[in-house]
Amino acid sequence: MSGSLDLNILLKAYAIGVFPMADDRDADDIYWVEPRKRGILPLERFHLSKSLRKTLRSERFETTFNRAFPEVLTACAESTEDRPGTWINGQIENAVLQLHAAGHAHSIETWFEGQLVGGLYGISLGRAFFGESMFSRMTDASKVALAHLVARLKVGGFALLDCQFQTPHLQSLGAVEISRADYSVALSAALSGAEGAATATGADLLALDRDLDAPPVSSPRATIVPGPISGCRILQALIQTS
């Protein structure tokens, strides 16, 4: 498929378990993917290792939600020594930026001494969050971002964290592979009642911020930028909701 991605088609694709990819950063076209084996991270099975607990308690990093979405997207699309190629081309990047403006795409940022050192982004639909990509420029930076995301999803009443493909890194954090049929059942349950909306009843990406006695907010749209979340608060949320 070439040309710009229609956002309605893109959201409908996610709603049936299909997502776009490109062969490389400079590719003109995208193709649609529906893996036979799907990687998901059951929220209750997130592996909070002793080292990650220690990192969170140390308050070495600060994390934020939707503070620097374009920068996270750009970092995820960059080639690195460990990842010479990327599946995020211009088409996908432009579409995701529009999804962010519409309140469907969100980022978690990890900061060290004011510098962006890690993060991830994904798409929310109903009680499902589709994790798209992550990056790390310091040890544990992406793990801390994922811990923040899991805490936010658990407190917010989400039912599915889709990782698309299983990797050794994600497996070490609790991700598992399930069949296409089992994924379809899980996705259907997570989208039940959503009717294409950014959230469904019981799903709230900002619940973690309200739980912190932050100023009241009424919408999960991308224009809302809550304050930073401490590592200890992430740890507390993960433990309390386990």
DSSP 135-149: EESSTTHHHHHHHHH
pLDDT digits 0-9 by tens, 9-62: 999 999 999 999 999 988 989 999 999 999 999 999 999 999 999 999 999 999
Domain-by-domain residue ranges, the chain? 7-240
Task: Report the alpha-carbon distance of residue 107 to residue 74 in Å, rounded.
Answer: 12
Q: Is 151 left (phi over 0), alpha (psi -120 to 50) or beta?
A: alpha
Yes or no: say if 45 and 176 are a contact pair by the CB < 8 Å rule. Answer: yes
pLDDT band at residue 90 under the 50/70/90 scheme: very high
What pLDDT is recorded for position 218?
Answer: 45
pLDDT digits 0-9 by tens, 102-147: 999 999 999 999 999 999 999 999 999 999 999 999 999 999 999 9
**CB neighbour list of residue 109: distance below 8 Å, 6 or more residues apart:** 63, 64, 65, 67, 68, 71, 72, 116, 118, 119, 145
Query: 7-240: what fold?
Result: Aminopeptidase (3.40.630)
Q: Is pLDDT of 204 > 80? A: yes
